[in-house]
Amino acid sequence: MSSTAIRAFGLVIHSNIPIPGLENAGVLAVSDVPLCLHLQAERRLVSRGAVRSARVLRVTREPDDGAAPALVVRHLAREQLYHFEYADGTEFVIDRGGTSVHGTWRDGATVEDTATYLLGPILAFVLRLRGLVVVHASAIEMEGAAVLMVGPSGSGKSTTAAAFALNGWPVLTDDLAVIVPRGDDLEVVPSYPRLRLWDDSVRGLLGRSEVLPLLTPTWEKRYLPLGAEGAEFTRRPLPLGAIFLLREREDSGRSPRIEEVPPLAAFPEILGNLLANQDIPDESADVDFRFSSRLVERVPVFALTAHADPARLGELCRLVADRVAQLPRSPGAPSEPAHV
- Would you list the DSSP string of 127-190? HHHTT-EEEEEEEEEETTEEEEEE--TTSSHHHHHHHHHHTT--EEESSEEEEEEETTEEEEEP
Contact 86, 96 (CB under 8 A): no
Please state, as a whole number, how many other Cβ atoms lie within 10 Å of the Cβ of residue 17: 13
Per-domain residue ranges of the chain? 4-129, 133-325
CA distance 209 to 66: 32
Nearest to 9 by CA among 112, 114, 127, 95: 127
Q: What is the sign, positive or negative, of the torsion defined by CA atoms of 225, 230, 233, 239?
A: negative
Contacts by residues 87-91 (CB-CB < 8 Å, ≥ 24 positions apart) = 88/113, 90/114, 90/117, 91/45, 91/46
Quick one: fold of 133-325? Rossmann fold (3.40.50)
Look at the alpha carbons of 133, 137, 140, 145 in this order and tell me if their dihedral is positive or negative: negative
CA 260 to chain CA centroid, Å, is 24
Cα distance between residue 286 and residue 332, in whole Å: 30
Per-residue pLDDT tens digits of the chain, which is 340 residues long: 457 788 899 899 999 999 988 877 778 778 888 999 999 998 889 988 888 899 998 888 766 555 668 899 999 988 899 999 999 999 999 999 999 999 999 988 899 999 999 999 999 999 989 888 899 999 999 999 999 999 888 888 999 999 999 999 999 999 899 999 888 889 999 999 999 999 999 999 999 999 999 998 888 899 999 986 678 999 999 999 999 999 999 998 899 999 999 999 999 999 888 875 666 655 556 778 888 888 999 999 999 999 999 999 999 999 999 999 999 875 444 333 333 3
Question: Which pLDDT score, from 0 to 100, does residue 338 have?
Answer: 35
DSSP string, 109-133: --HHHHHHHIIIIIHHHHHHHTT-E
